[in-house]
Amino acid sequence: MHLLIPHASALDEAARHALSGLPLPRLAAQLARLSPAETWGSDAHSPQPPHQFALAALRGEPAPAAAAWAVEAGPELAWALLSPVHLAVGSDGVDVLPPAALNLSASDAAQLCALLRELWPEQDGWQWRLLDATHWALGHATALDGLQAASIERVAGRPIEPWQPDSRLLRRWQNEAQMLLHGHALNAAREARGEHPVNSVWIGDIGRSSAPPPDLTVDARLTEPLLSGDLAAWVEAWQQLDAGPLAQPLTSLTLGGERFARRFTLQPLSLLEKLKRRWKAPDAAAVLEAL
C-alpha cells in the first residue's frame, strides 16, 4: 500500500511547536522500516503545494492538474477548481477566508453555482461539476489552456496579493464574479445570520490530465484543519492517522509539507543499516520539520 499524506507539516511556528511534542509512534515505526526515495518541490512560494507535484510525477504527467484529477476527466477538457471564498478587508490588506470556514450547505452551493453560470454558460462550451459544497470544477476545451493560477491550498487563510494571477483574463473573471455576488439575496441572508458572505471565488488548480490515477491512497484529513488554522483539529487528525492508516503495512509513504514532498519506500537494507536503525530510529518530528 502506498499512502500519501498532504499537509503533513507547516512552517507556521505554532504548527511546528505542536508537531515537536506530538507522539506519532506508528509514523516513527514506518520511517524506521522505509528508506528515503524521491523528493519533490522547492519552496513555500510555488503556486501548487509539493504533494501535487508528487502526484503529477507518480501519474507520469509534467505538471499538477488537481482540478482534472478531481473530476477524473480525460484530456478532452482543461479544468479549473472554482472555490467560493470570503475576502476579508483589513488594515494590512485582503485575506482569503478558507472555503470550509463558510459552512456552505449543498443548497447554498447550488444557488451560487446557478448564479455564476451566467459567466461560464454551458452554451459556450463550459462544463460544471459540483464536487461538494466548496469544491466546484469548471471545464472547457480551449478557454483554460495556457492559464496558470495558484492552488486554493496555497491561498486559503493568507493575504491574497502575493498569489494573484498574472493573467488579465483570470483577474477579469474574478472581478465579474465579485460583482455578481455583491448584494445577492443569499449573501444578504447569510449576513443577517451573522455568517460571512461569499463575496468572491478563487480560480486555480488549472490543467488537463490524460493519465489514469496511480495506485495509491491519498488521505487528506490534515488539509482542512491546517488551511482553517485549527491546530487542535490538525493535531487530532494526525493522531487519527497514526492510529489508523499508519498502522497498516505500507510499501511506500509520501509526506507533503509546504516546501517539499518526500517519498519513503520499502528497500533492501544491509545488515549494518538494519543495526543502525535498530539503535537509532529516525526522528519523525525532524523528518516532518524538514518538509
97 φ, ψ to 5°?
Answer: -70, 135
Predicted confidence band at 289 (pLDDT cuts at 50, 70, 90)?
Answer: very high
The tens digit of pLDDT for each residue in 103-162 reads: 999 999 999 999 999 999 999 999 999 999 999 999 999 999 999 999 999 999 999 999
3-state secondary structure of 270: coil
pLDDT at 269 over 80: no
- The answer to whether the CB of 41 falls within 8 A of the CB of 50 is yes
* pLDDT of residue 276 exceeding 80: no
pLDDT at 270: 66
Beta bridge partners of 260: 41
Radius of gyration of the chain (CA): 20
Q: Is a pLDDT exceeding 70 seen at residue 2?
A: yes
Q: What pLDDT score was predicted for residue 92?
A: 80
So where are the chain's domains?
A: 2-60+212-289, 66-207
**What region, left, alpha or beta, does residue 146 occupy, with left being phi > 0 and alpha being psi -120 to 50 degrees?**
left
pLDDT at residue 19, as a whole number: 85
Q: Among residues 158, 155, 160, 154, which one has the least CA distance to residue 48?
A: 154
Starting from the edge strand earliest in sequence, which strands make up the sheet with 252-256, in order?
A: 35-41, 260-265, 252-256, 2-5, 217-218
Check whether 274 has a pLDDT greater than 70: no
Please compute the mean of the pLDDT values over residues 220-235 and round it to a whole number: 93
In angstroms, rounded to a whole number, what is the distance separating the alpha carbons of residues 280 and 256?
A: 24
Confidence of residue 271 (pLDDT cuts 50, 70, 90): low
Average pLDDT in the 52-66 region? 94
Per-residue pLDDT tens for 164-190? 999 999 999 999 999 999 988 999 999
Confidence of residue 240 (pLDDT cuts 50, 70, 90): very high
Model pLDDT, residue 137: 96
pLDDT in tens, 198-219: 999 999 999 999 888 888 999 9
Residues for the chain: how many in total?
Answer: 291
Q: Give the predicted TM-score (pTM) of the model.
A: 0.92
User: For a pLDDT cut of 90, what percent of the chain falls above it?
Assistant: 76
